[in-house]
Amino acid sequence: MRKQLKTILYEILEVSDSTNFYSLADDIIITFLIVLNITAFIASTSPSFSLGYKLLFEYIEVISSLVFTLEYVLRMWVCTVDCKYSHPIWGRLKYALTPLSMIDFISILPFYLLLLFPNLSFVYMISILRLLRLIKISRYSESVRTLGAVLYRKKEELLATAFAVFILLIFASSLMYFVESSAQPKSFGSIPDAMWWGVVTLTTVGYGDIYPITPLGRFLGAILAFLGIGIFAVPAGIISSGFSEELQKRKQEKMAENLGQSANFQSVDTLAGIEVSFEQKQRAIALHIENSSELMKLCVETTKQNLGTAFESEEIIRDLAIHLYNEARRKFDI
């Protein structure tokens, strides 16, 4: 009975399944509490809100923190259902060290520290960690998980771009220091001071608090501004292509799942001799045609994308697309 209860709770807490009423209710309630808690935290920093709604904000923090604590404890209890964390001690410790579990713990930590040490200023300052609860939404939001998957898949390209920006920033700031330090000893008194100007210029923000006044300094500043426009467009392109690849991948997975379901339906109908209604056969045929057309469209797009520059003849590309289509159908036994 206890093992069955743990399995049920595990599916509710860890598996975000919209077809499961309790799992869906858990996702909605936790997401609502996260948004409500963060909204109350932000509003509490405004004097106009904090005076009139201070007690309400405290109630929201207490209730949401207790719910998050209960959720964290239950997750620690049921995590042993997963074979990766099956050991009652080391498995739970391993689960506690996972990124999302650590975020869960850190986000509720300020609430209990403020209860134990209400007069310590540093404890009040770390209440900013409550904002980490926003990351908890990644458990329940498909969009946030997609963003995380894209950033993880493109981490090498993004790190390479960040390294290039860092090298350019140091190089440009050092040059500007030697060029402008004699003319503006206060603004460009050191390379770290010049780096602030470099960051503002590279990002094309241009606050105007520090700027070069010598001809050579202005020339270098203009070059850096143009470079900043181009180099900061690179991460946007990387992330955009990552989103396109991720959506295409999920589309292929969904198509494969639909093809498998269609194949299973047809094989069961044929082998088991089940009599189905005319409407069911029509739906099965329509699904099969839709999946086949989507598969052919995907094969044509893939062939043109990967081999379009290698062959000038449209007939060769068409034949290759048909070959991919037939291989895909053979794989799923359709």
> For 208-241, how does the pLDDT look when each residue is reduced to its tens digit (9 = 90+)?
888 889 989 899 888 888 888 888 788 888 888 8
Task: Supply the pLDDT for residue 321.
Answer: 67
Co-location of 205 and 249 in the same domain: no
Co-location of 6 and 132 in the same domain: yes
* pLDDT band, residue 258 (cuts 50/70/90): low
Average pLDDT over residues 278-298: 61
pLDDT at position 277 over 60: no
- Residue-number span of the structural domain to which 161 is assigned: 155-231
pLDDT at position 143 over 80: no
Domain closes at, from 112, 140, 168: 140
pLDDT at position 334 over 60: no
Co-location of 130 and 197 in the same domain: no
Task: Supply the pLDDT for residue 274.
Answer: 43
**Count of CB atoms situated within 10 Å of the CB of 118:** 9
Percent of the chain, pLDDT > 90?
4
Co-location of 192 and 247 in the same domain: no
Task: Supply the pLDDT for residue 108.
Answer: 87
Domain closes at, from 87, 107, 140: 140
pLDDT at position 204 over 90: no
Q: Which of 97-106, 134-143, 263-272, 285-294 has the highest mean pLDDT?
A: 97-106
pTM over 0.75: no
pLDDT at position 275 over 50: no
Percent of the chain, pLDDT > 70?
74
295 lies in some domain:
yes
pLDDT at position 313 over 80: no
Co-location of 107 and 166 in the same domain: no
Co-location of 188 and 262 in the same domain: no
317 lies in some domain:
yes
Co-location of 124 and 72 in the same domain: yes
pLDDT at position 332 over 60: no
Question: Chain-wide mean pLDDT for the chain?
Answer: 78
Question: For the chain, how many structural domains are there in total?
Answer: 3
Co-location of 183 and 90 in the same domain: no
Task: Supply the pLDDT for residue 150.
Answer: 84
CATH number of domain containing 49 = 1.20.120.350
Co-location of 71 and 194 in the same domain: no
pLDDT at position 243 over 70: yes
Co-location of 325 and 254 in the same domain: yes
145 lies in some domain:
no
* pLDDT band, residue 328 (cuts 50/70/90): low
Task: Supply the pLDDT for residue 186.
Answer: 86
Co-location of 130 and 167 in the same domain: no
CATH number of domain containing 223 = 1.10.287.70
263 lies in some domain:
yes
Co-location of 201 and 287 in the same domain: no
Q: Kindly report, residue by residue over 171-191, the tens digit of the pLDDT.
A: 989 999 998 888 888 888 888
pLDDT at position 32 over 50: yes
